[in-house]
Every structure is written in C-alpha cells, then in structure tokens.
Amino acid sequence: MQWYPGHIGKAEKELKEQLKLMDVVIEVRDARIPLSTTHPEMDSWLGNRKRILVLNREDMISKADRNAWAAYFSRQGMKVIFANGKLGMGSTKLGRLAKDMAANVNIKRRAKGLLPRAVRAGIVGYPNVGKSSLINRLLKRRMCPAAPRPGITRDLKWVRFGKDLELLDSPGILPMRISDQTAAIKLAMCDDIGERSYDVADVAAVLVQMLIRIPSVGAKALQDRYKIDNDCLCGKTFVQKLALHLFSGDTHQAAFRILADFRKGKFGWVALERPPR
Ligand SMILES: Nc1nc2c(ncn2[C@@H]2O[C@H](COP(=O)(O)OP(=O)(O)OP(=O)(O)O)[C@@H](O)[C@H]2O)c(=O)[nH]1
C-alpha cells in the first residue's frame, strides 16, 4: 500500500515540535480500530505529558465493543472518552477533563513558585479520524475544515478555549505506520486513508473474511444481504460472486459496495478490533 503523502512526513516533524509545547495531549482514535489508529512511537513522543484518549465515531460500534474497550483502557490506567465528532457527543466531557488536567498543571507551577498560565492542549491522531470535527465541537464554531477524506488539515494554530486553556486548533496528524499492512488494510476498510492508495477488491475480500468471523455478523448476514451463498468462506470468491450476481462481473464495483455497506453500518455497527486478552 502506498499511502504516505509528502505533507504527512512534514507534519511529523511539525507535530514533534508542537508536542513539546503541549501540556495535555488529546489523542483521537477511530473506535472501530483503536489499535490500528495509534502510532507505535506515541508513548515515547508523549513522555510524561498527560494524555486523554478519545475513541471517536462511537456511533459506529456496538455497546458491547464500547464496554470492552472502556474496561481495557481503564485497566491500562488511561483516561478514555467516547465521542461522536459529527453530533458532538463527548465533547463537553472532553472539554471538562482537559480543563481539570489543566488545573493540575497550574497547581504544580504554583508549588514551584511559577505564575499560572493558560494550559495548552493539542489534538493529535491519524488522518480522517475526526479531529477537526471534535475541535469544531469543542470550540462551538467552525474553525477547522472537516471533510470525509483524509489529509485535509495542514496548518497549526493556537486558539483560546475558556480563560485557562489553549487549544491547538489545527489537529496534529500522526504519521501513519506504512510498515504495518494489517493496520493499513483496516484503515482502508474504515475509510481512514485515501481510496487511491489501496486495492478496493483486496480490501473488501479481507473485510468479508473479518465480518464472517465477527459473531454478531457472520456469514449468514453477508449471504442474506446479497443473496449469495458463500460456502467456501473465502472473501475473494465472495467478492467475485457478488460481482457476477449484481455488477456484470465488475469486481471493483462489487468490492466498493461491500465497503460502502460496512461503513454505513449495514451489517450492524461493529468494531473491527477487540481488546487483546
Ligand atoms: N459517523 C461519524 N462520523 C464522524 C465522526 N466524527 C467525524 N466524522 C466524519 O468523519 C469525517 C472526517 O472528519 P474530520 O474531522 O475532517 O477528520 P480529521 O481527523 O480532522 O481529518 P484530517 O484533517 O484528514 O486529519 C467527516 O466527514 C466527519 O463528518 C463521528 O463521531 N461519527
């Protein structure tokens, strides 16, 4: 998969510089794939900076997924907030939590004899996970362009949020892990990377196999939806059968339909990743 646009490389350098200035880092991940939407270097980049983890697109997973992830991150001692950047759920809680963390920073400053100052919170995350939507919700105005395609946000600026917090308005884009192909395929399924960077038919075939293994979906949901029997349980064959059945043999269109249906929740709202045991 080739999906490492030049501006992301540039953003990595800028992001590392910006991270040094942040007191609180709000890391946004896609709730459907919380493991694939974080960067392996994140912990080392953050050092002992405070972190709030936001699992965005909470509307796109089931309650059981949500509970499983909440328990997992709570065991890790991480503060996690489930959010919906589109409708704004979670943003008030996020604002409050960021401010609470901000208060801690100033308590420490006072103890050291330093004057209190506005605390800086920055939002970081992979492209298209909903960072701009969350910032717009937090600031209650449209500052950042939010768009249904990755890689929209480019520039960085600080904006006052209340009297004691500053928010880095333009979200920090995490450089994506090009080496991790499994993560890359899940990012493609969730529409978190540009469509031109992957083979739709390959990605749809893997998705079919993943959906078959998810108990709340299973082979039957796929067969019923498209009126196709999939006795061999092979994703590639399923895409080909669907192509013949509905799209005059056009596998690209068939694959695209499966991906679009998954993204629209036609197989139910399900996470593609569950916490490791
Ligand atoms: N269903 C759903 N859609 C969301 C949610 N949050 C954001 N979106 C949509 O996801 C798309 C991407 O959102 P953005 O806010 O632009 O994402 P971003 O992370 O800032 O993207 P970049 O600028 O590429 O880094 C938009 O179409 C949003 O409307 C959510 O919680 N649920």
Span 62-75, pLDDT tens digits = 999 999 999 999 99
pTM, entire model: 0.88
Binding residues for GTP: 56-59, 128-133, 172
Q: How far, in Å, CA of 266 to CA of 130, rounded?
A: 21
Average pLDDT, the chain: 85
Query: ipTM surpassing 0.85, yes or no?
Result: yes
For 223-264, how does the pLDDT look when each residue is reduced to its tens digit (9 = 90+)? 999 988 766 668 999 999 999 999 999 999 999 999 999 999
Q: Which ligand 1 atom lies nearest to the CA of residue 133?
A: 15
* SS3 assignment for 221-270: HHHHHHCCCCCCCCHHHHHHHHHHHHCCCCHHHHHHHHHHHHHCCCCCCC
For 3-14, how does the pLDDT look when each residue is reduced to its tens digit (9 = 90+)? 555 555 666 777
Contact 131, 123 (CB under 8 A): yes
Nearest to 145 by CA among 158, 128, 160: 128
With a 6 Å cutoff on the Cβ, whether 180 touches ligand 1 is no
Dihedrals phi, psi of 37, to nearest 5 degrees: -105, 30
* CA dihedral sign, ordered 145, 86, 53, 183: negative
Best of 86, 123, 262 to mutate for ligand 1, by most ligand atoms within 8 A of CB? 86
Beta bridge partners, 120, equal 166
| DSSP classification of residue 196 | G
pLDDT score recorded for residue 146: 57
Helix axes 181-189, 200-213, angle to 10 degrees: 90
Q: Whose CA is nearest to atom 30 of ligand 1?
A: 57
pLDDT at 90 over 70: yes
